[in-house]
Structure 1
Amino acid sequence: MPRNENPIEKTESLGHLVKVQRVIDFMVLSDLINGQRYHSEMEQFITQTLGNGVGVNDAYFSKRLQVLYENGHVTRHWDGDNRYNRFYRITDAGIEYFKLMLRELPGRVSLAKQVYDRFDAYLDKFGHVHLK
Structure 2
Amino acid sequence: MPRNENPIEKTESFGHVVKVQQVIDFMVLSDLMGGQRYHSEMEQFITQTFNGVGVNDAYFSNRLKALFEAGHVTRHWDGDNRYNRFYRITDSGMEYFKLMLREMPERVKRAKRVYDSFDSYIEKFGKMNLK
TM-score normalised over the length of structure 2: 0.93
**Identical positions, percent:** 80
1:18-57 maps to which residues of 2 (within 5 A)? 18-51=18-51, 53-57=52-56
User: Partner amino acid for 1:37?
Assistant: R
CA distance in structure 1 between the aligned counterparts of 2:44 and 2:73, rounded to whole angstroms:
18
Give the Cα–Cα distance (whole angstroms) in 2 for the partners of residues 129 and 80 of structure 1. Answer: 57
Query: Gapped runs of 5+ residues in structure 1?
Result: none
Aligned to 1:99: 98
Let me know the Cα RMSD of the aligned residues. Answer: 1.4
CA deviation string 1:68-104 (max 9, x = no partner): 0011100111112221111100001000000000111
**Separation in 2, partners of 1:39, 1:131:** 43
Number of residues paired by the alignment? 131
Q: 1:61 Cα shift?
A: 0.6
Q: Distance in 2 between matches of 1:60 and 1:129?
A: 35
Calculate the TM-score normalised by the size of structure 1.
0.92
CA distance, structure 1, for counterparts of residue 38 and residue 29 of structure 2:
13
Post-superposition offset of 1:3: 0.7
Question: In the aligned structure 2, how far is the partner of 1:40 from the partner of 1:29?
Answer: 14
Runs of 5+ unmatched residues, structure 2:
none
* Deviations 1:109-131 (CA, angstroms, capped at 9, x unpaired): 10110111111112222223334
Whichever residue aligns with residue 73 of structure 1, its letter is H
* Cα deviation digits, residues 2-37 of structure 1 (max 9, x gap): 110221122333355111111100000000001000
Counterpart of 2:6? 6
2:128 corresponds to: 129
Counterparts of 2:39 and 2:17, CA distance in 1: 27
Q: Which position in structure 1 is the counterpart of 2:88? A: 89
CA distance in 2, matches of 1:34, 1:44: 15
